[in-house]
């Protein structure tokens, strides 16, 4: 039995993504997919996501990030991929980044 390789997705979502329930939307989707990491607002009006898990689940989360909740209007999603560090035990909402 081989273990699936975990990946790390770091994404910045730009557009009308604050004040529309985006962080809770991401937390619900990521948790349902079994991912760990966090989501937070940034002072530049974007939302930042750091998620770890298997690639198919991360790809599904990325598709959700590009869509967003109904009240959001996603203009751009900037994505970086890397190796998972396994430093998180769950997916959470973090406070705004300066």
pLDDT tens-place string over residues 3-22: 568 999 999 999 999 999 99
CA 10 to chain centre: 7
- CATH 3.30.70.100 describes domain 6-85: yes
**Tens-digit pLDDT profile for residues 69-95:** 999 999 999 999 999 999 999 999 999
User: For residue 57, what is the enclosing H or E element?
Assistant: helix 55-67
**Tens-digit pLDDT profile for residues 24-60:** 999 999 999 999 999 999 999 999 999 999 999 999 9
Give pTM, 2 decimals: 0.93
DSSP secondary structure code for residue 97 in this structure: B
| Pairing label, strands 36-41, 91-93 | parallel
Just list the catalytic residues. 23, 41
């Amino acid at each position: 039995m081989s273990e699936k390789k975990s990946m790390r997705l770091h994404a910045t979502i730009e557009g009308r993504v604050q004040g529309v329930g985006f962080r809770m939307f991401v937390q619900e989707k990521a948790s349902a997919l079994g991912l760990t990491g966090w989501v937070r607002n940034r002072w530049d009006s974007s939302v930042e996501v750091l998620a770890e898990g298997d690639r198919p689940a991360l790809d599904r989360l990325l598709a959700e990030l590009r869509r967003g909740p109904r009240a959001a209007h996603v203009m751009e999603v900037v994505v970086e991929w890397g190796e998972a560090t396994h430093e998180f035990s769950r997916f959470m909402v973090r406070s705004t980044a300066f």
